[in-house]
Each structure stands twice: as structure tokens, then as C-alpha cells.
Amino acid sequence: MDSSNFNLVCTLVVLVCMMAPSWGEQSLRPKALVVPVKKDAATLQYIAKINQRTPLVPVNLVLDLGGQFLWLDCDRRHYASTTYRPARCHSAQCSLAGSSACGSCFSAPRPGCNNNTCSLTPDNTVTHTATSGELGQDVVTVQSSNGFNPGRNVTVSRFLFTCAPRFLLQGLANGASGMAGLGRTKISLPSQFSSAFSFPRKFAVCLSSYSNGVAFFGDGPYVFLPDVDASKLFTFTPLFINPVSTASAYSRGDASTEYFIGVKSIRINGNVVPINTTLLSIDGNGAGGTKISTVEPYTVLEGSIFKAVTEAFMKEMNLTRVASVAPFEVCFSSKNVGSTRMGVAVPIIELVLQNKSTAWMIFGANSMVMVSDEVMCLGFVNGGENPRTSIVIGGYQMEDNLLQFDLAASRLGFSSLLFGMRTTCANFNFTSSA
């Protein structure tokens, strides 16, 4: 749908473009896009930076892997742009976004307040607050990439997003002006970028704890210094759709836009942890199962799974247990703990997937959180009784693992901890080669 005018012209006049030396194949169509993603120390949210509007301004957005779309604070004092266009009722944009609502606004016209526009329900998935907001379009600029470096900046001239009132920002990191939804919708960031630039419906995220991690839109290579193409490391597992929405507000019949995987069992040091496996599948009400979330800072386990996992983990640990440090329950003295390339030497936790030889391995770097110089805690949180989803894999467990979401093939590729290849998610070379 939305492609830059430049792209459109080039697609229509392929011959002319090919003849013009500065308009080579490469500039015609970026292979992929790259966006820096930085962890906010106060909220533990992951912040993606894009450029938007006319004139262009940098916009910080909380990355929401399963989120429905881009939503932004359009308050008059914070949103100025000469290229903002509201989506008119019953337009192609409204139908692409799945909105049949048609609204009016009874104050002075501005982005977020126009008559005869359709609306969506922006969802702050951190605080679980949702409200209504106008669907609009504006310029979005991000850097293209060959997988090694950022290249020239590319523009989507009519990128669809939802305007939210300012109060919806409550609970988001300082300086964030909205959320970037990468979920399963036709107007999520991956969908709009893929259709604007005709690249495969794939994207990848590599979160870092301390520095710039990276999100890629489009296919690999995804190269980290010193020359490790992490897309070569993938193990694949199917992605599942939860037929019942997990959003804060939704209509009957809406499916969840989040990404679920099929964890079948959990092993610790190779031993299967006894858990109620019924909790691992998604039931008729959309409860249960395992999803991946960038808004949960740590993996959340349903109460009985949490108990079984922590008991099994403690049985395998020979270190002295110390008082718990919230939000964690199981903490140890970190004196005398060994260290390995994969983090501190602790029992390996495995999320076993479609068969016994396919598992997401969680090593010390992703399982233990150093809460002080002397204390480290198992970085899992007790989700209590009857949470909606039994296992929510959170940001800390994803850090320094490259995850690729292949929407066409409906599968997840995961690299495992990149420390094994002597690199990290902070090692993408952000020096532009353009």
C-alpha cells in the first residue's frame, strides 16, 4: 500500500530507473530496514527510535512485540506536522486497519481531532489501558540496511498509526511518545514496511541490556561484529495464533495479535520438570500457552509452573539461598559462583518445543539477574493462579538472543545466546555505510 512516492515512480518507470546510474536496484528497494532499540534503565522497557512527520523529528517508542500498531501522543503541544492526514471514514486505510467506526470531534481540528475519520483502540500494554484514537497517516523515515550497516534513509510517506490522548503515555519510559506494535495485523510496523518496500514479511529483534540493540525489518543477513551472521544460527519453531484477543479492549471474535510458541515441557539440567502440561496449550477461551513479550521485563510463569521450576532449579543449585529481592523469589549468594562464556554457571533451563531435540536454552546470562554485588536472583516472576497466559517469555530472557518472526511461514527462528558465537546484540555496526 503506502510506498514512498519515489518508490512508486521507480516501480512504474523501471526502465528509466535502471538507466539512471544513481537509481540502481539497491536504492530502488531496500533489502531491509534497521532501527536501534535501547533499554530504558528505569522502566526496563525497550525503546525503538524512528523519525516521523514534516519536519522530521526523532520519535521514541516503547517496543511492543505483540502490539497491534503504532500509536502516538498527538496532543497539540507534542505533534506538529504539515503532512498529517486523518483516515476518512470508509476509506481503504480504514478497511486495511479493520476499522468501521466513524467519528467526529468537537474542538478545533488538529491531528487526532478531525471529523469524518475512523478510529482504533490504542492499547498501553504496560498498564493495560486502552482508549479510542483517530487513525491517521504521516511520513516515517528509517534507515535501510544490507544487514551489515545502516544505509541511506528511506521514507514511507503515508504510514498509518493511531493518535492517542496524552494520558495513555502514563507508565511508559520518560521521553517515549507512544508504542511501536510489531504484532499480527495488517498495519503493524512489519506489515507496513514489508508492503511499502516489497520485502519478505519477516522481522527480527535482538535486545541488549545496556547498549543499542537492534530491530530489523525484512530478511537477513543480520550481521554482528566481528562478522557473525546470526541468521545462520536459527533453530525454527512454529508460531501459533491465539484465537481469542489478549488486548486490553477488543471485539468478540478478534484473535490475539501476539506471538505464541508451543512449549511442550521444561527441562532443568536435562531433567523434565513435573508440571501440568494442560496449562501449556491454549484452551477454547484463549487461556494458557506461551507467548513472547517485550513489555514484560522478566519471564512470568503461572503459579504452579513457577513453583515446580524454582524447586527443580534449587535442587540443582549448590549455592546458598538468601532472602528474596522483589520481584524475584529465589535468590542466591553470588560468592563462589563460577562463570562461563554463557554467563554465571547455573543449571540450564530449557523450554522444550516441537520435539525433544528442539529447545530454547536459557543459560546463566538470561536466567540470573545480579541484584547487587553479592546477590543474584533467578529472573523469573510468579504469575499466580489463573493468569491469562501460562508462560510469558519476557525481555530479560530474550536479551542477546536474535529472534526472527517469519509471518509468511508462521515460524520463529531463534539464535540462542549469541555469547556462544562471541558476539552480542549490542554489536550491530551502526556506523552508516551510506
Ligand X SMILES: *[C@@H]1O[C@H](CO)[C@@H](O)[C@H](O)[C@H]1NC(C)=O
Residues lying near ligand X in the complex (CB under 6 A) are found at 51, 104-106, 109, 113-115, 143, 149, 152-153, 225, 236, 276, 278-279, 316, 318, 354-355, 357-358, 429, 431-434
Nearer to ligand X, 129 or 149 (CB): 149
Residue 117 is given by DSSP the state B
Q: How far is the CB of 155 from ligand X (least distance, A)?
A: 10
Nearer to ligand X, 7 or 143 (CB): 143
Q: How far is the CB of 97 from ligand X (least distance, A)?
A: 20
Cβ contacts of 21 within 8 Å, gap of 6 or more: none
Q: How far is the CB of 322 from ligand X (least distance, A)?
A: 17
Does the N-terminal peptide bond of residue 200 adopt cis geometry, omega within 30 degrees of 0? no
Q: How far is the CB of 9 from ligand X (least distance, A)?
A: 20
Neighbours of 203 (CB within 10 A): 27
- Closest residue by Cα to residue 158 from 57, 59, 87: 87
Q: How far is the CB of 8 from ligand X (least distance, A)?
A: 21
Nearer to ligand X, 149 or 248 (CB): 149
Q: Which amino acid would we find at residue 215? A: A
Nearer to ligand X, 109 or 175 (CB): 109
Residue 198 is given by DSSP the state T
Cβ contacts of 67 within 8 Å, gap of 6 or more: 123, 125, 179, 180, 181, 182, 183, 188, 257
Nearer to ligand X, 126 or 319 (CB): 319
* Phi, psi values for residue 339, rounded to 5°: -130, 150
Q: How far is the CB of 153 from ligand X (least distance, A)?
A: 4
User: What is the C-alpha separation between 188 and 161, in angstroms, rounded?
Assistant: 9
Nearer to ligand X, 34 or 130 (CB): 34
Q: How far is the CB of 150 from ligand X (least distance, A)?
A: 7
User: What is the C-alpha separation between 116 and 120, in angstroms, rounded?
Assistant: 14
- Closest residue by Cα to residue 242 from 183, 186, 298, 194: 183
Q: Do 136 and 162 touch, CB atoms closer than 8 A?
A: yes
Nearer to ligand X, 247 or 279 (CB): 279
Q: Which amino acid would we find at residue 140? A: V
Q: How far is the CB of 167 from ligand X (least distance, A)?
A: 20
* Phi, psi values for residue 352, rounded to 5°: -85, 130
Nearer to ligand X, 176 or 308 (CB): 308
Match 508440571 to its residue by C-alpha cell.
275
